[in-house]
Amino acid sequence: MDLADRHEQRRGRPRSEAVERAIIEGVVALVEQGVPLAEVSIERVARTAGVGKATIYRRWSGREELFCDVLRAVQPEDPEPTGESMRDDLIALLESMRLRGLANRSSALLHNVLAQMKSQPRVWAAYHATVIEPRRRATLEVLRRGVENGELRDDVDLELVSDLFTGPMLVRSVMRPDAELEADLPEQIVDSVLRGLRP
Amino acid sequence: MDLADRHEQRRGRPRSEAVERAIIEGVVALVEQGVPLAEVSIERVARTAGVGKATIYRRWSGREELFCDVLRAVQPEDPEPTGESMRDDLIALLESMRLRGLANRSSALLHNVLAQMKSQPRVWAAYHATVIEPRRRATLEVLRRGVENGELRDDVDLELVSDLFTGPMLVRSVMRPDAELEADLPEQIVDSVLRGLRP
């Protein structure tokens, strides 16, 4: 048992946000020093953060899960759909994609970690399961409510509908790093797809 | 002057398709043997294809241009818009993206070359300029005709319109290698975006 854990135990709190933050900042510090993600071991993170390995393993099952939380900590937060208007919830979801796109461009750290995570299949699979997949489910839930509210046609496959809204934003924010990401892009995409492009 | 060139000269043809094909097949053979693209030099291609370096340089300015033609040779061909119906031309463009997506998944060679080209900035820039950019211009041209014909609203930025049609297909064919690419996907995307998703 290391110091941080003894400290936690004394306060009777099973999880301490401060300890978690120190561990996540330890990973960030290593990456900022230029250490390749593949060489960031739990042992090295523990040493950097000044905690014992057990403290890390009590919170994360391994490197994969830890790196996902590091990304979540440095990326803009995901919005919470309000459930009142499908249109507004979709715009909020697309706006968070836009902000993530801007953050990935401006933060060398984020760009670097994301690129390295992609080349490590287990890490990428964990990121997909814990970050990307929940976003996808949240989008489908917003669309399902839209069909119930009468805001959305009920004769189009929702997986396709989801791609019709998010695809144009992903292409600009992820695939074309030089594409413009104007502030009104989310609204333009959502309203154009809802209304349709026929005159 | 090497044999191939002397042969060409005798027949009075400045460019020989057979020689070009042999050179392109030389690159393909090297990649299939597992040679990293970064180690595929003009000299090595010349030796593999049984031609002189000058024969290659007479046709391509360098490795970048040559690799672009190799990709073009192994990828499904781009369609020629007919100009009769914007809807049909858009479906044909999306269908060619779908076929390229399927080809990238089934051909290890294609997948491999594309991934390696992306990591070589000069090669990727050449591919972008000679392959991706012309496709983009062709799409914009189809949309411009659509506005003229009255098939498309004239109050939405055509760059955005282009992303509204191609984004959903790119997300499935490029970003999500496990996504389904059903035969009727191009038609579904084009018709859904044209009609709009409001009930």
Cβ atoms within 10 Å, residue A168 = 30
Burial of B131 from C-beta contacts in 10 A (0-12 / 13-18 / 19+) = middle
Rounded CA separation B193/A197 (Å): 6
- Nearest CB partner across the interface for B168, out of A164, A175, A194: A164
pLDDT (average), residues A130-146: 93
The answer to whether the CB of A4 falls within 8 A of the CB of A19 is yes
CB pairs under 8 A between A and B: 102
| Whole-number pLDDT of residue B2 | 52
Task: State pLDDT tens for residues B188-198.
Answer: 999 999 999 99
Q: Of all helices (H) and strands (E), which one includes residue B19?
A: helix B17-32
Domain-by-domain residue ranges, chain B?
3-59, 77-195
Cβ contacts of A44 within 8 Å, gap of 6 or more:
A30, A35
Chain B residue nearest residue A158, CA to CA: B197
- Distance of alpha carbon B162 from its chain centroid, rounded? 18
CATH of domain A82-195: 1.10.357.10
> pLDDT class for A81, splitting at 50, 70, 90?
very high
B104 touches A at CB < 8 Å: no
Task: State pLDDT tens for residues A5-21.
Answer: 554 444 444 457 889 99
| Whole-number pLDDT of residue B177 | 79
Rounded CA separation A159/B182 (Å): 13
Concatenated DSSP letters for A88-119? Answer: HHHHHHHHHHHHHHHHHHH-HHHHHHHHHHHT
| Whole-number pLDDT of residue B118 | 80
Asked if residue B7 has pLDDT above 80, the reply is no
pLDDT (average), residues A102-124: 83
Rounded-to-5 percentages of helix, strand, coil across chain B: 75, 0, 25
> pLDDT class for B15, splitting at 50, 70, 90?
low
Rg from Cα positions in chain A: 20
Closest Cα in chain B, distance from residue A67 (Å): 21
The answer to whether the CB of A109 falls within 8 A of the CB of A74 is yes
Is B77-195 in the same CATH topology as B3-59?
Answer: no
Write down the ipTM of this complex: 0.80
Touching A: B residues 134-153, CB under 8 Å: 150-153
- Nearest CB partner across the interface for A194, out of B161, B194, B196: B196
CATH class of A3-59: mainly alpha
Which position has the higher pLDDT, B96 or A110? B96
Rounded CA separation A39/A31 (Å): 10
Chain B CB contacts of A157 below 8 Å? 188
| Whole-number pLDDT of residue A15 | 55
Angle at which helices A185-195 and A158-170 pack, to 10 degrees?
140
Task: State pLDDT tens for residues A22-71.
Answer: 999 999 999 888 888 889 999 999 999 999 999 999 999 988 889 888 88
Task: State pLDDT tens for residues B20-63.
Answer: 999 999 999 998 888 888 899 999 999 999 999 999 999 999 88
B54 touches A at CB < 8 Å: no
Read off the amino acid at residue B129: A
CATH class of B77-195: mainly alpha
Read off the amino acid at residue B22: A
Six token digits for residue B188: 């579904």
Rounded-to-5 percentages of helix, strand, coil across chain A: 75, 0, 25
